[in-house]
Chain A
Amino acid sequence: MADLVAHGAARGDGHGSAEAHSPDLKHHFDNMTQQFDAANLGMWVFLATEVLFFGGLFASYTVYRSLYLPGFEIGSHLLDVRFGAANTAVLICSSLTMALAIRAAQTGQRNAQVVLLVLTMILGAAFLGIKFTFEWRNDYLEHLVPGVNFTYRPEWGANAPHVQMFFVFYFIMTSIHALHMIIGIGLLSVLAWMAARGRFSPEYYTPLEVSGLYWHFVDIVWIFLFPLLYLIGGRYGMGGGH
């Protein structure tokens, strides 16, 4: 038994005592590198769960789309692709500002951090604004909200229930995505406040890093949602539809 446990020095990878006593080092970690790596891996694992979560939704959507393409095309054409495209651009920019915010932390620029984080929040809010006040409001006014006021239109014919199915998935997918955006904006507000108080430095910016991962993920989900929802069905004459 004595062999099993050699009483040695605390494990470390050569960092000096200054790091071992960093105020940000949590007691159960040995050094900041280990702590940072653990946080990173934790967020990646969490994102894996999110992939499976959205994946179940995407799989169901795919099943119904392959069964009911005509109805889904009708539904997709009823969405405004301009808003969708604008939202895509907004989100991509927000990922840029987020990445730049992390870079600012890595280079010790406190003001830039705060500005960029706030910019990211504004872009996120813009996304939500476009979605809620333009797209969803329009859908409500046009009686396209299933379970609330969805009304079949005669020109849909037999495809009507499938148009509704499209909108069921449209609303579920975009609202779950929006929920993740809202959580993300909340996270960002906390981060912006922390950054303003000088919490982050080149030695410690872990919360920014993992939140950045989360934010980019939410962005990527939208990159998938946009073509799946807005761009199906030969609207631009490519291939001619069916």
Chain B
Amino acid sequence: MSTAVTEIPQDSRVHYLNVSYGVKSWLLTVDHKRIALLYLGSITFMFLVGGVAAVLMRIHLIEPAGALVQPETYNKLFSAHGIIMVFFFLVPSIPATLGNFLVPLMIGAKDLAFPKLNLLSWYIYVVGALFTLYAVISGGVDTGWTFYTPYSSTYSHSAVIPVAIGVFITGFSSILTGLNFIVTIHKMRAPGLTWFRLPLFIWTMYATSVIFILGTPVLAITIFLLGVERLFHVGIFDPALGGDPLLFQHLFWFYSHPAVYIMILPGMGVVSELIAAFSRKRIYGYTFVAYSSFAIAIISFLVWGHHMFVTGQSIYAGLIFSVLSFLVAIPSAIKVFNWTATLYKGSISYEAPMLYALGFIGLFTMGGLTGLFLASLATDVHLSGTYFIVAHFHYIMVGGAVMAYMGGLHYWWPKITGRMYPDMWARVAAVIIFVGFNLTFFPQFMLGYLGMPRRYAVYPPEFQVFNVMSSAGASILGIGYLIPLVYFIWSMRYGPIAPANPWKAKGLEWTVPSPPPTENFEETPIVTEEAYNYAPIPEGQHG
């Protein structure tokens, strides 16, 4: 399918990257595409910081007695790793980079509803990140990213307050982004773009934004209460004064469980786009997949207690949270089956984005199914607090969300930068990442079943073999992540110039030049067909 736009040599065409130069034009931009790139830079930096912590941890764990650091430092490393990766990388990653860039483009709008608020979101993120980095540098925090009381409120001698402030501030960045997306998707869709013609990425952005809006404020108040308790010791979570340390856990997990769906739903949206584009077919069961995103967002608010099965909460509460946790798995399963079915009679190509998407499906399936072990009360007792949990969530967060993020970055890179990256290197890196990832985290399932608890700076010798395997895998994984860093940067200068639609994909974002002009669309598009309309839908049928 030929592109509708004649290619003009790159220099003479004005687009959002070259329309103005200078630091001020970037730091004061209100263009959603530039803001997306500001986020891309910041979260990549935070990913590297969190990654360094992980590398140090895995080196340390090569030996049972610890190979690198003192336990106190190890505790600070795993805390930094978790806090940075969760709050400063995974939560914003796809929404703030790909979401910011693509939401207006995919719906035919010129920008988000509130462009200045969008820029403010980025600044809030940066301020929060600086607070947290300051805390890390000034000694770090050793409470884990979960900040359980009373350790964090009364006993820890580490920089809890600065980190708490940093996370509190950054939460507002999420809230404002979510607000922006919801209003934009409701009010600024192009004519003809009904809800069920939207790309599935938009559906997941919307569902994610609902979680941003409803969940993040509860984290904010939780952190606030923790700060008050730590500063004033008035007994909010202190049993000696009538407080309940478990109240902290309920409040914390009320946000943090939906938060993990914040981290995976956008990835699912990306995967829907990738599968459709690289099999040139409409996603099978489009309507079911769309509703599943919503179902996941809603049910995610009802399952927080499955993080607390062994805390002594009533077994009846455990039953309810267990059944709801099984329920939340179903929409995810529906998505996996629909993605797989999309491949049937498709026209499938194996560029790097597709490799990442397929890797996502496999690893997310495994990670999700290991969640059933944890939703099951009897097995959760044995596995709770062990490396099984660590492996489970890394399969979903890294094997799932990060791979989807990488796939999306590759897929939309030509649109964002106007350049192609070298696909052969990209495929090699994708395979290295896949192999390294499994080698790192599969042994951790074994460790968990054997009983090795998590957050252990030292461990009994019989766990060493699996720990060494895991660390070896981590080195491969690290190399895998460095390769794209190199070729993406290289491509911005030396990559071949990309056409408007290098993948010959459907979607409004592919109808504008690569990179797009600042105002996205010269004239507002009018949408007359369904999403992923590779083959027209016959009369009487539904997609």
**A, B co-complexed:** yes
List chain A positions with a Cβ less than 8 A from chain B: 1-11, 27-30, 34, 37-38, 41-42, 45-46, 48-50, 52-57, 59-60, 63-64, 67-68, 71, 146-147, 150, 161-162, 164-165, 168, 172
Interface residues of B toward A: which range? 35 or more
Most B CB within 10 A of own CB, among A5, A146, A161: A5
**A4 and B179: CB pair below 8 A?**
no
- Indicate which residue in B184, B216, B244, B527 contacts A4 across the interface (CB closer than 8 Å): B527
**A161 and B242: CB pair below 8 A?**
yes
Chain A residues near B523 (CB-CB < 8 A): 7-10
**B524 and A10: CB pair below 8 A?**
yes
Chain B residues near A5 (CB-CB < 8 A): 4, 508, 511, 525-527
**B217 and A45: CB pair below 8 A?**
no
Sample of 17 A–B contacts (CB below 8 Å): A4-B511, A5-B525, A5-B526, A7-B526, A8-B191, A8-B523, A11-B191, A28-B109, A30-B524, A37-B187, A42-B113, A42-B179, A42-B183, A45-B182, A49-B213, A162-B242, A165-B236
**B221 and A57: CB pair below 8 A?**
yes
- Indicate which residue in A28, A49, A57, A165 contacts B216 across the interface (CB closer than 8 Å): A49
Given the contacts A11-B190, A28-B110, A168-B234, A45 and B220 also touching, CB distance less than 8 Å:
no
Chain A min CB distance to B515 (Å): 18
Chain A min CB distance to B255 (Å): 9
**A41 and B241: CB pair below 8 A?**
no
Chain B positions 173-188 with a Cβ under 8 Å from a chain A Cβ: 175, 178-180, 182-184, 186-188
Query: B235: CB under 8 A from chain A?
Result: yes
Query: B218: CB under 8 A from chain A?
Result: yes
List chain B positions with a Cβ less than 8 A from chain A: 1, 3-4, 104, 109-115, 175, 178-180, 182-184, 186-188, 190-191, 213-218, 220-222, 224-225, 228, 231-236, 241-244, 247, 251, 254, 501, 506, 508, 510-511, 519, 523-529, 533
Number of A-B residue pairs with CB-CB distance less than 8 Å in the complex they form:
154
**A56 and B235: CB pair below 8 A?**
no
Chain B residues near A172 (CB-CB < 8 A): 224-225, 228
Given contacts A4-B508, A56-B217, 15 further A-B contacts (CB under 8 A): A1-B510, A4-B533, A7-B525, A28-B113, A34-B187, A34-B188, A50-B217, A52-B213, A56-B220, A60-B236, A60-B251, A63-B247, A168-B234, A168-B235, A168-B236
Chain B min CB distance to A143 (Å): 14
**B182 and A1: CB pair below 8 A?**
no
Chain B min CB distance to A216 (Å): 19
| Interface SS of chain A | helix
**A52 and B215: CB pair below 8 A?**
yes
**B182 and A53: CB pair below 8 A?**
no
- Indicate which residue in B111, B182, B254 contacts A28 across the interface (CB closer than 8 Å): B111
Most A CB within 10 A of own CB, among B244, B254, B524: B524
- Indicate which residue in A8, A11, A52, A165 contacts B235 across the interface (CB closer than 8 Å): A165
Chain A residues near B113 (CB-CB < 8 A): 28, 38, 42
Chain B min CB distance to A178 (Å): 15
